[in-house]
Chains A and B, each alone.
Chain A
């Protein structure tokens, strides 16, 4: 079995998730080659063929051209599977490649199971096993699901890829950084976070009151931030802050991997959720099965006594 791994380079840097692709290939027992639209100045530590296209020329992301580059490498290597990380990059590019190759695609793989792939469903409450029937398939892996066992090592043998003038329809206009301001949660000893289960913006002060009764800070999951209930600086998770408090209280948070990535290092985790099967229960030390708006005020009253 041979895997073509599509590394990722963003804002001038090689992303660490690139090494997770190799860990995934190893776990599949597959030989691998890698493709990277990146730069000579930062090559991945990887033993094997590295198809390298210059990001200065093809853009860090230029969908039409990157698709052509992947198809070129597929032509040369004839791989059984083409593997991306399920990031915004893989998200956008993988299905283009799959349809162009008429190959089946399995998105956001979290585990392997005897040649089949396991993916989450219904907010990670369920798992499903997906089996590709087509000879060749396109796969995306969940970031964080396949971690390398040790420090990455190796020296790649670069082979240049060039395109003969396929212009792209999409013109890049600019980047805009997400706003960074406000609290620094990374040093907080206690964090009480509000999730979508809080219900509405008007309920957020109830969670904030618990945070202050416990002498801590308010945190939030992404949907709560996206909805504008809480400022982005309070967001915990892969696209927010990574925290390691002594006590983390998750109120109405389901426990999506991107949220867990930001808080699983907390010493003691309390989850308040009306669903006893919510995935947050997997890592919580204690779970209170209740409606947040009923339980939290009662709990705050006792803490503040």
Chain B
């Protein structure tokens, strides 16, 4: 059985800055990382490999530089890594993204039966949480979102029991394979690559599939196949609280000013 982890390379949004003049994202110098939720998806796939001996494939759609992300997945122990990259895939919204990813999964399934696809619950740059469910619906797989624990997996019976993390409660459900899971951070703690694994993976190559391989009708992919488009990215206007002192350069001085502020409002009992 093949387990597929879908991983997206995203800009590290905690380091994103806004250009005060143009009010848009400053892209230069922002490091790219694996979408944090996808690191947990990958880890869970590797744990299934450790426990059951399944093969694991990592799949990513993105520009050529996303190869770096897949290299890391190889270093962690995935058996194959596939980058879906082609100009005609560019500008895709979630509908078009799930079209390409599900086609690729369909192709892998012809070689080896896919039992489980694992996605992050959402990305930190697009944040839509639509891609996983989109893949499940297209492939007709059972969809289980917000999974924080795999309780039981019976590959022979082809059934899985998972716990889903909902508002203020958990829900346990059982479902038949093949399934698509979208996972939350509580699921596991991702491993780090060891030095020997890193060295070994230096040899391994990332397969790149373009639309020559997938042969998708251009109407359904990329910009053309995308029913939504982002017309503007901007920084929301807000009234800001007063900034007290220079806390970075002079913490003690800022602390004095803050103490005064709280005293003047009778909020400090000294």
Question: Which chain A residues have a beta carbon within 8 Å of chain B's beta carbons?
Answer: 11, 61, 63, 87-88, 91-92, 94-96, 98-100, 102-108, 116, 119-134, 137, 169-178, 190, 214-215, 223, 226, 238-239, 246-247, 268-272, 274, 276-277, 279, 281-291, 294-295, 298-299, 301-303, 305
Is B247's CB under 8 angstroms from A126's CB? no
Is A288's CB under 8 angstroms from B244's CB? yes
A104 touches which one: B93, B129, B164, B239 (CB < 8 A)? B93
The distance from the CB of A241 to the nearest CB of chain B, in whole angstroms, is 11
Digit string of B236-263 for contact with A (CB within 8 Å is 1, else 0)? 1011111111111001101110110110
| Contacts beyond the supplied A120-B127, A247-B267, A286-B261: 7 A-B pairs with Cβ under 8 Å | A88-B166, A95-B129, A99-B95, A121-B126, A133-B227, A171-B175, A173-B171
Is A215's CB under 8 angstroms from B269's CB? yes
> Cβ of A288: which chain B residues have Cβ within 8 Å of it?
243-245, 247, 254, 258
Chain A interface main SS type: mixed
Is A125's CB under 8 angstroms from B137's CB? no
Is B233's CB under 8 angstroms from A103's CB? no
Is B98's CB under 8 angstroms from A137's CB? no
A122 touches which one: B94, B124, B137 (CB < 8 A)? B124
Residue of B nearest to A171 (CB): B174
Is B244's CB under 8 angstroms from A287's CB? yes
The distance from the CB of B94 to the nearest CB of chain A, in whole angstroms, is 6
Contact A177-B235, Cβ < 8 Å, known A102-B95, A122-B13, A302-B256: no
> Cβ of B128: which chain A residues have Cβ within 8 Å of it?
105-108
Is B227's CB under 8 angstroms from A137's CB? yes
A295 touches which one: B95, B161, B243, B247 (CB < 8 A)? B247
> Cβ of A176: which chain B residues have Cβ within 8 Å of it?
163, 169-172
Chain B interface main SS type: mixed
> Cβ of A11: which chain B residues have Cβ within 8 Å of it?
169
Residue of B nearest to A62 (CB): B173
B185 located at the interface, meaning its Cβ lies under 8 Å from any Cβ of chain A in the complex: yes
A216 CA / B165 CA spacing, docked (Å): 31
Is A95's CB under 8 angstroms from B133's CB? yes
Can you list 21 A-B pairs with a CB-CB distance of less than 8 A? Answer: A95-B132, A99-B138, A103-B227, A105-B95, A122-B25, A127-B233, A128-B230, A129-B234, A131-B228, A131-B230, A169-B175, A170-B144, A170-B173, A170-B175, A174-B172, A176-B169, A268-B262, A270-B258, A279-B238, A282-B238, A287-B241
* Most B-side CB within 10 Å, residue of A106, A130, A238, A288: A288
B168 located at the interface, meaning its Cβ lies under 8 Å from any Cβ of chain A in the complex: yes
Is A303's CB under 8 angstroms from B239's CB? no
A190 CA / B94 CA spacing, docked (Å): 44
The distance from the CB of A3 to the nearest CB of chain B, in whole angstroms, is 17
> Cβ of A174: which chain B residues have Cβ within 8 Å of it?
171-172
Residue of B nearest to A136 (CB): B227
Is B232's CB under 8 angstroms from A303's CB? no
B210 located at the interface, meaning its Cβ lies under 8 Å from any Cβ of chain A in the complex: no
Is A171's CB under 8 angstroms from B173's CB? yes
Contact A131-B229, Cβ < 8 Å, known A87-B167, A95-B129, A95-B130: yes
Residue of A nearest to B135 (CB): A99
> Cβ of B240: which chain A residues have Cβ within 8 Å of it?
281-282, 287
Is B145's CB under 8 angstroms from A92's CB? yes
Is A281's CB under 8 angstroms from B238's CB? yes
A176 CA / B128 CA spacing, docked (Å): 27
Is B173's CB under 8 angstroms from A132's CB? no
B230 touches which one: A129, A215, A286 (CB < 8 A)? A129
B134 located at the interface, meaning its Cβ lies under 8 Å from any Cβ of chain A in the complex: yes
Residue of A nearest to B246 (CB): A289
The distance from the CB of B217 to the nearest CB of chain A, in whole angstroms, is 13
> Cβ of A286: which chain B residues have Cβ within 8 Å of it?
241-244, 258, 261
Is A303's CB under 8 angstroms from B234's CB? no
> Cβ of A131: which chain B residues have Cβ within 8 Å of it?
228-231
B173 touches which one: A100, A119, A173, A277 (CB < 8 A)? A173
Residue of A nearest to B94 (CB): A105
In chain B, positions 9-37 with a C-beta closer than 8 Å to chain A are: 13-14, 16-18, 25
> Cβ of A303: which chain B residues have Cβ within 8 Å of it?
259, 268, 270
In chain B, positions 211-236 with a C-beta closer than 8 Å to chain A are: 226-236
Contact A92-B137, Cβ < 8 Å, known A239-B168, A282-B239, A303-B268: no
